[in-house]
Structure 1
């Protein structure tokens, strides 16, 4: 069986140094015990494939050297995972010994612990050998990656187990089983064969798909609740519960112009009737209750995932990984030319001087700050674009209400699409920048390196994906003063004039969330399906391949590569979506339902592309989802705060509640709108206005023109504002306290698993004590024997002395 493939071109070995590196490296691999076989590309003799074979005894020896805990050598307790129900089961998740499929792949389907090193473990060990084999005499002259960078080799990759196409007879490989029972859309409702996924792709991929599957399960009750919220909103829309919608639809108020130029249209408040009804659909007491439930749902999700992760950690033998994750990176050893004494290891260790580290991290901080500012400016540009488009459409059209509404809709939808395009553009850009900066920082361990890249990428993704949503939820319309205020049109591109519909900003938030989530879901899934196929087609064209019956190593050489942070990008998409679900659930209760539908498709798309469209990834052992858990924990707390702010400042729920508590009947018209004298709006061309009223209304709690405090804030405005801030603080603290109690009540590890671990640790302790006692007794016996011998010698000396010898 071929374990690994190296690829080089004879035409690139143009210098004596490259030939020496190439020859020395291959000779090093042979000396390390690997068997090599070279074969030319069938369509290009310039390309040479080096097939690597490794004997089992060599792999066992190096696995022990590299601290890789093999599955077949692990005999500790493994928790029992019950099979799924029949309608969720497949031959891989609920094996049946009488099934004909079982007899064709008994080792894979049975789920039993392998008695020999698996193909994924073979790849992992060989990859470690390739990364350490020497090809020169210099300090850093080792590793396949540097040879690839210098074009001495052009590629290195492991092979899949075989073809993924199903066969009706003969033995089945793991790739065929996963392609049919995991990567197929026919199994969209089936349980994942997560143990076989981990066995074939490694623990990093196994944990990602386990987390994604668990996330989908947790979204099901959240989606049911979101549907119930919408049903309640539809059922009570025409009742007195929807007092704001009723008032707006029945109102005869004339709203003030939203722009400053001549021929600016005016409209009746009743024209916002549809917006008011849509706002109530997502802005009612049931939606507020749902926001609280979702905040607690996030805590339950995280705690239950910890339990699941602890079980998988035992099932996949990951507890030992904790001790090897802090080994030094080769890149750090090359950069750390200085050495210092370590009081821990009692020897000299390499290190990077603090001055260099400070400079590296300063560059990172400055660069990340600039990127964040650029993204915020892009969001600001989209907002200005929306204002400009709306004004252009209205200004160049006939003065009627239809033109005004169409301009607002066109600006809203095109602005949302432009925001989505910016999100995709910046995503490709900041991933590259984050990688460059992480390499510049020269991290000591692989764990630190990976976490630094993830945190930087997420910080940039957070700003990129949520800036526009935070603007609409918390800032849009908050800088508006009153009609006729000329300073509004002179500040930051007229952004102060960007106000929501009189019914509120909830509809705008809904539209933007809906478009971004839909656009990202469709674009992401389409790109994930077609990009690897396009890359493979391009590789075939460049290599001038026309036939299909190529050897396996040649077919996979033409397939798309799996890069180092492939799985990080998959996590990023899901974590960003998790933010949409938790941050703005009050503004868009249907977000869990949209996320559920997308994730069911996403899981099968990811499974299919990994098994069918990409080369086999190099397996790796990780202790858990790592930095993503800390990010998700932080997001649950941010979600509590954002939903509290939306309830207080974006929706109308809190104002209605305060009025009812105070014994007054809430009136949207009297308590939210202010009157303005049209005669003071001198810019308006009265000759082009069909309305005869001298007064109009605008959103703002200000005194009327005939009041002595004309256009200033009403007295109750500051009182209401202070209550809102108080409610935010109270809501946040109450929910966080409940979250803490839930987290305390749900153990991070099942009791049976914890009990078995403690039992194992006691057995290990007893075994160690027994070994130490044996060593102690043996030493004591040796000491006693030496003492007795010395005593006999002394007695003999004394005896000889007395006898005069």
Structure 2
């Protein structure tokens, strides 16, 4: 059976590099990999790319797995020593544990025993990706199992962790917890809608309570899973990012050298995000407000032809322009995050993702806030003012197409369309979910299929042997290479994007649920589908993520805390303004009082819930406390027994107890070769193969099937 716990693929793109440079870089790469103790094999990829397959020998992999466990014990992540000696060779408890050690061997710096290869950095700027190969059999088994379940158990989450690592597993644990909790606002929302509740105070209170309890419960659940998966406080063992630029080396209190970057410089660099966020909010806000005003003007005052079409022209223009502006701002956010000089990859990733999330909040929540607190309360004054100024600006064109006098609904005492707030929430929340589903699951498939068709169309025609002419071993090898080449063309999977989507959805519920109580039904259905399609997306549309470890969803907890707090303000304000029988009947002078009371009631309730849940804890948290106590008690008993033995020895005339020393032999199990690494490779063989492939691929537009796919991979 093919093993997938010890192989990685490095993708080297040489289409924009001259042959001499490509040969030199590939030579250095393979030398560095082999110096780290890894086995390598080079094969041609699609188009002008080179795939360098990397395999960790059994003894090397087992040693790194053991050292990783010892390191976890030293840093207090686990409480018990793994046993064995410094030269112990062990098997990983699950596939992701082995793959993580191979990732460290490829990616970690040379002073830590790795090859120091980081895609896109320095001399590796032409390395586009490093990824482990998908275990297709395990993927299919997991997908088949999950498709039969409505909710995932802890054992199901364990299987995801075993295959993809704890970082990805925490996302599925989060969406699973959120999905189960969504049942409550879904039921109360249906009841509120059925009973005719409009901006219901009861439903608003219940939703605020639900948001608070759900978030505090997840915090306990997160700790529980981190203990179960033995990754609690795993951030303490994270190594420096290769991009981290330290100024000097200092020795900490434990006598260990540390790379140091001055704290005041780091704080000053982080402060750059404040003007960036302010300017981004001003730019996006001005654009959204302008389009919103134009849309309102057209919907209320336009008297020309095709009113149903013209009304949506500003929205269409915004949809075309906004992605380009967001793309520019995201590139600026990436440059600022690079400048911030984060020490670990986790801190960098979360800083960048949260900047992008702030931009997403502005584009998704701002139109609703404008509708709720500007258009509906003050529309009777704003729309005539907009109409008059636009007519004067456009001259005869404005006089022709924009109504005035008795033709204006506002001039005759008409009422602003109060249903627009509900329509805005429905449009942005539910259509956003649908469009996100298509962008994540449909468009990537279509693009990949089209790209594959075009690649095949451009590929040179070669005469391939029939199935009967090819040995079964060569057939399996050819299938393996086709799968690897296909995976190399996929995009890397970013779990932070999926977490951001759920957090954004949580924000709609926290901030605007009283506007349309049925919004939670749409989210419930979406997440039932999302839970399964995300697993399918990882297996079929993305490269397999490196199984890096995490002890939760990171700083997203702070984002959820902020949205829950903000929800106590917005829901109180919305119910105060629109909860009466007529729109705008709520007194504006009393609005600050309502917000003040709502916020402080929320803060008091949150403190009570947090205290109660932390007191109750969970089975794993209680077990960890018991294990720590038992460990300290055992040490105490051993000390007391030693003292008693010493007293007995002294009382017995000083008889010495002899202890026989035992010698341990080092045993290395030699595993037989597999299909991809069957012969003992001579030093330099992979280098020669890689260079010959680069020369052979020059001038070839695409790579189809290769004759060497049918040969044995030496």
For the criterion TM > 0.5, the same-fold answer is yes
Q: Which residue of 1 aligns with 2:347?
A: 448
Change (3 A) 1:618 1:587: same
Q: Which residue of 2 aligns with 1:57?
A: 59
1:126 to 102, 106, 112: 102
Over residues 654-678 of structure 1, what are the superposed CA-to-partner deviations in whole Å (9 max), with x where a residue is unaligned? xx6xxxxxxxxxxx6xxx8xxxxxx
- Separation in structure 2 between the aligned mates of residue 341 and residue 762 of structure 1, nearest angstrom: 35
The DSSP-based 3-state class of the residue aligned with 2:546 is coil
TM-score, normalised relative to structure 1: 0.65
- Separation in structure 2 between the aligned mates of residue 118 and residue 439 of structure 1, nearest angstrom: 34
- Separation in structure 1 between the aligned mates of residue 15 and residue 595 of structure 2, nearest angstrom: 68
Q: Which residue of 2 aligns with 1:352?
A: 261
Residue 569 in structure 1 maps to residue 478 in structure 2: no
Residue 143 in structure 1 maps to residue 143 in structure 2: no
Residue 383 in structure 1 maps to residue 292 in structure 2: yes
On the 8 A contact 1:372/1:460 being kept in 2, the answer is yes
Which structure has the greater CA radius of gyration?
A: 1
- Separation in structure 1 between the aligned mates of residue 271 and residue 151 of structure 2, nearest angstrom: 49
The DSSP-based 3-state class of the residue aligned with 1:458 is helix
Over residues 680-712 of structure 1, what are the superposed CA-to-partner deviations in whole Å (9 max), with x where a residue is unaligned? xxxxxxxxxxxxxxxxxxx8x9xxxxxxxxxxx
1:579 to 499, 507, 514: 507
Aligned residues: CA RMSD: 4.4
On the 8 A contact 2:91/2:98 being kept in 1, the answer is no
On the 8 A contact 1:364/1:437 being kept in 2, the answer is yes
The DSSP-based 3-state class of the residue aligned with 2:230 is coil
Question: Runs of 5+ in structure 2 lacking a partner?
Answer: 81-89, 394-407, 468-474, 649-714
On the 8 A contact 1:63/1:69 being kept in 2, the answer is no
Q: Which residue of 2 aligns with 1:614?
A: 542
Bigger RCO of structures 1 and 2 (CA < 8 A, at least 6 apart): 2
On the 8 A contact 2:43/2:50 being kept in 1, the answer is yes
- Separation in structure 2 between the aligned mates of residue 457 and residue 451 of structure 1, nearest angstrom: 10
Residue 323 in structure 1 maps to residue 236 in structure 2: yes
2:39 to 35, 42, 48: 35
TM-score, normalised relative to structure 2: 0.73
Q: Which residue of 2 aligns with 1:365?
A: 274
1:528 to 440, 451, 458: 440
On the 8 A contact 1:556/1:615 being kept in 2, the answer is no
Alignment of 1:118-517 (within 5 A): 118-132=94-108, 134=110, 142-146=116-120, 150=124, 153-162=127-136, 173-182=137-146, 184=147, 187=149, 193-233=156-196, 282-283=198-199, 287-319=200-232, 321-325=234-238, 327-332=239-244, 335-336=245-246, 338-339=247-248, 341=250, 344-345=253-254, 349-353=258-262, 357=266, 360-361=269-270, 363-390=272-299, 393-394=302-303, 396=304, 428-479=327-378, 489-490=388-389, 506-517=418-429
- Separation in structure 1 between the aligned mates of residue 60 and residue 442 of structure 2, nearest angstrom: 40
Change (3 A) 1:412 1:508: farther
Change (3 A) 1:461 1:483: closer
TM-aligned CA deviation for residue 619 of structure 1: 0.9
On the 8 A contact 1:420/1:519 being kept in 2, the answer is no
On the 8 A contact 2:152/2:176 being kept in 1, the answer is no
The DSSP-based 3-state class of the residue aligned with 1:156 is strand
Larger mean Cα displacement after TM superposition, 760-769 or 204-213: 760-769
The DSSP-based 3-state class of the residue aligned with 2:41 is strand
Over residues 369-407 of structure 1, what are the superposed CA-to-partner deviations in whole Å (9 max), with x where a residue is unaligned? 22211110121122222134236632x36xxxxxxxx95
The DSSP-based 3-state class of the residue aligned with 2:543 is coil
TM-aligned CA deviation for residue 593 of structure 1: 1.0
- Separation in structure 1 between the aligned mates of residue 392 and residue 170 of structure 2, nearest angstrom: 48
Over residues 308-351 of structure 1, what are the superposed CA-to-partner deviations in whole Å (9 max), with x where a residue is unaligned? 223212221112514324x433321xx22x22645535566433
On the 8 A contact 2:96/2:547 being kept in 1, the answer is yes
- Separation in structure 2 between the aligned mates of residue 779 and residue 492 of structure 1, nearest angstrom: 102
The DSSP-based 3-state class of the residue aligned with 1:145 is coil
TM-aligned CA deviation for residue 206 of structure 1: 0.6
TM-aligned CA deviation for residue 417 of structure 1: 6.3
Question: Runs of 5+ in structure 1 lacking a partner?
Answer: 78-113, 163-172, 234-280, 398-405, 657-667, 673-698, 702-716, 782-805
On the 8 A contact 2:491/2:541 being kept in 1, the answer is no
Change (3 A) 1:381 1:772: farther
Alignment of 1:634-649 (within 5 A): 634-649=562-577
